[in-house]
Amino acid sequence: MRLSTPVIVAIIGALGVIIAAVIPAIITWTNADEPKPLPKFSPRSLDSEFFPSGWMGDAEKGDAFLTISTVAEKINGNSAVATCFSYTRGDEGWAGVYWLYPERNWGDHPGLNLQGASSIKFFARGQNGGEVVEFISGGVKGEHTDKYRVSTGRKALNTDWTAYDLTLKGKDLSSVIGGFAWSAPGSALNPIEFCVADVTIL
């Protein structure tokens, strides 16, 4: 059976409508399982949102074991405010401090959304050199929980300012409670004294 020209034109037009409707659906279905790109992250100082309010170990017993001070410093020619710690060993044998969001939040409340961040960079130095300190991000557990934990491992500090980096790539940063922390074993001989500065989320 031969189709007339008007019929052929109508069929072609109908096919065009069907194809136009089906192709977007196919593209949507194909892309449904692709991960969504992370939002662009604006670098910021960690101190602008997290607070060094989570004292641990001997530090929980107060300033007889841990004291904190701030001092103005020059790092690579740039002005910076350093947070310095002096830790005297007690019965626990270790101490540490978490920068928490919000302040004093040990998991009672959700954390801060840092999705898109790639690392935490900072500087640290020891007063005498050789102070052993571990630096951490994440790891707080409670009703609300950090979904990651990264660490530098224990580092022996230098007397010069040294740059360190905690990598956050691939981590679930949708609700970060413990943005930054340090932990150190106590010394039976002398207090451990060290400083951190320019802690930045990138």
Distance separating alpha carbons of residues 57 and 52, to the nearest angstrom: 14
pLDDT band at 27 (very low <50, low <70, confident <90, very high): very low
pTM over 0.75: yes
Tokens of 3: 């189709």
Distance separating alpha carbons of residues 53 and 69, to the nearest angstrom: 14
Residue 9 in 3-state DSSP? helix
Distance separating alpha carbons of residues 113 and 25, to the nearest angstrom: 32
pLDDT band at 22 (very low <50, low <70, confident <90, very high): very low
pLDDT band at 166 (very low <50, low <70, confident <90, very high): very high
pLDDT value of position 39 = 67
pLDDT value of position 89 = 97
For 47-68, write each residue's pLDDT tens digit. Answer: 999 999 999 999 999 999 999 9
